[in-house]
Amino acid sequence: MEERCMRHQFEAAVDLCRNCGYEFCAECLVYSFGREQPPYCVPCALAASGVRSNAAYPPRPKREIKRRLKERQKAERARAKQKVEVKPVEVDWSIPDRPGAPAAPDWLEEHLPSSGERVAF
């Protein structure tokens, strides 16, 4: 589900507004009752608080909002199951000067003179 924010068309939607049901990015959402409860978008939060009664977007039907929330939760569960396990890469950190360690490759010897003088690259 690749939804976009209603106000910022180039931002990905994070969640749905609990009042109007439209998708919004993190900048447009207000979590009035904590992260566990559905958020308000900024215009709906202003309308719910009584600051601006005509600020809210026209609401979608509650049935459609519930359907969209269920779709979003289902997609999140599917994404959680498909998490890819990253395997660590083994790197040989041995020091060439140490006895028993592999010698430096030939191409490296050309650029590192044994006299210790600085070489301009």
Contact (Cβ atoms closer than 8 angstroms) between residue 75 and residue 81:
no
Q: Is the pLDDT score of 1 beyond 50?
A: no
Encode pLDDT of 49-59 as tens digits. Answer: 888 777 777 88
The predicted model scores a pTM of: 0.54
Does residue 37 lie within any of the structural domains?
yes
Does residue 63 lie within any of the structural domains?
yes
Does residue 25 lie within any of the structural domains?
yes
What pLDDT is recorded for position 117? Answer: 58
Mean pLDDT of the chain: 79
Does residue 38 lie within any of the structural domains?
yes
Does residue 110 lie within any of the structural domains?
no
Q: Is the pLDDT score of 43 beyond 60?
A: yes
What pLDDT is recorded for position 109? Answer: 62
Does residue 43 lie within any of the structural domains?
yes
Give the range of the structural domain holding residue 46, as residue numbers without chain letter.
15-81
HSE on the CB side for 77, CA within 13 Å? 6
